Structure 1
């Protein structure tokens, strides 16, 4: 009869997937600063040594948690017959994922060459290629889409965190900013004054998709 060692028993009772899901919960509730092996050990009712059996360090854990979120996001988006529609779905999926998990944006930038980023890059690249973009222009097209998605998605998530931390009502906040803009000097800030009213009722997701559509029109426009 072969007896299991203590290390083997810990491995059997605690899976990597379970650790990752608990990490996502911690990150969602407490942010990146709240993800510690001590907090994770308490949540999982285990010792730090059992967790280290599955993950090397906090950076590895953060990347794995980010990868799990992005993998689910990409799978849920699916791939359609129309490349532009698929790109819009992928972009909106990433936008919503970062909005729901604000730490994901930062985690993606910390692991540019690892799986989470590649999961986004690959389907984007395939759809840009399907649009008929020449080989020498594909990197610029994909890079523009990717930077827009992560930049705007990250800023939107940061705005949400800012509002929640200060218990701000979105409607009241936008109304106050719009009122301030409408009172600017008409000769010095003519454009800002002109869009003040639109700021009050704008939709973040709709604005994001409008930007994606602008990029797609540029990508697919006739080339001279």
Structure 2
């Protein structure tokens, strides 16, 4: 591979790319301007020329990953396109463990930044195409976005916890333990224990998206009908 030119090495895009690499490797604590200068073999002044501080760098890294996650080919019905976008975010959050807390920060502290409008626009356009009343667009889009962030974030947390554990064995042990619960106190838990053993996280996630879409489109008429 040819060496990067100085201009390429010091571009904002390369800085953000290196920041994402450091975040993926060591989380937020592993991203400092010192580690970044070492990764880029440059001085801190060159980095500060492009980004003012760590908070701006985290925002830029989050925006970059989210943009890539949403840059998927969406074809078909609005429901199918929403599923595709949701799954893109789900997979991105699974690949980048630091992303879920950063999205929470973006939503709560700076909803006017680039990330929240980008996500809401991409999902909201499809929600509006479902034929639901305009007065419900914000609520419906919020419900989808918060489910995506919550479910994907919990899945990412599970993946981290089970990083050194065989998933199948863990689920089998959990299912066995639930089956041993007292029938009078935990009838529901015992009834679903068998479903835990073989469930697919991505399919389970999409089932949740479908449940929300069914609720959103319940009164929308033919244009908002969900898949069979």
Instruction: Check whether TM > 0.5.
Output: yes
In the other structure, the counterpart of 1:116 is 115
In the other structure, the counterpart of 1:94 is 89
In the other structure, the counterpart of 1:184 is 181
In the other structure, the counterpart of 1:28 is 24
Q: What displacement does 1:12 show?
A: 7.2
- Which one of 27, 39, 44 corresponds to residue 40 of structure 2? 44
The unaligned stretches of length 5 or more in structure 1 are 1-9
In the superposition, relative to structure 1, how do residues 13 and 157 fare at CA in structure 2: closer, same or farther (>3 Å)?
closer
TM-score by length of 1: 0.91
> Does residue 214 of structure 2 align to residue 217 of structure 1?
yes
Structure 2 CA distance for aligned equivalents of residues 124 and 21 of structure 1: 26
CA contact (8 A) 1:41 1:48 kept: yes
In the superposition, relative to structure 1, how do residues 156 and 12 fare at CA in structure 2: closer, same or farther (>3 Å)?
closer
3-state DSSP of counterpart to 1:102: coil
Q: How many residues align?
A: 213
Q: What displacement does 1:222 show?
A: 2.5
Which shifted more, 84-93 or 116-125? Answer: 116-125
> Does residue 143 of structure 2 align to residue 144 of structure 1?
yes
CA contact (8 A) 2:132 2:219 kept: no
Q: What displacement does 1:79 show?
A: 3.3
In the other structure, the counterpart of 1:85 is 80
In the superposition, relative to structure 1, how do residues 134 and 38 fare at CA in structure 2: closer, same or farther (>3 Å)?
same
Q: What displacement does 1:103 show?
A: 1.0
CA contact (8 A) 2:133 2:220 kept: no
Which shifted more, 117-126 or 90-99? Answer: 117-126
CA contact (8 A) 1:11 1:50 kept: no
3-state DSSP of counterpart to 2:162: helix
Q: What displacement does 1:106 show?
A: 1.2
The unaligned stretches of length 5 or more in structure 2 are 1-5, 222-228
Structure 2 CA distance for aligned equivalents of residues 138 and 222 of structure 1: 13
Cα RMSD of the aligned pairs, angstroms, is 1.7
In the superposition, relative to structure 1, how do residues 155 and 187 fare at CA in structure 2: closer, same or farther (>3 Å)?
same
In the other structure, the counterpart of 1:194 is 191
TM-score by length of 2: 0.89
In the other structure, the counterpart of 1:107 is 102
In the other structure, the counterpart of 2:64 is 68
Q: Deviations over 1:44-77 (max 9, x none)?
A: 111112111111111110110111111111112x
> Does residue 125 of structure 2 align to residue 129 of structure 1?
no
> Does residue 153 of structure 2 align to residue 157 of structure 1?
no
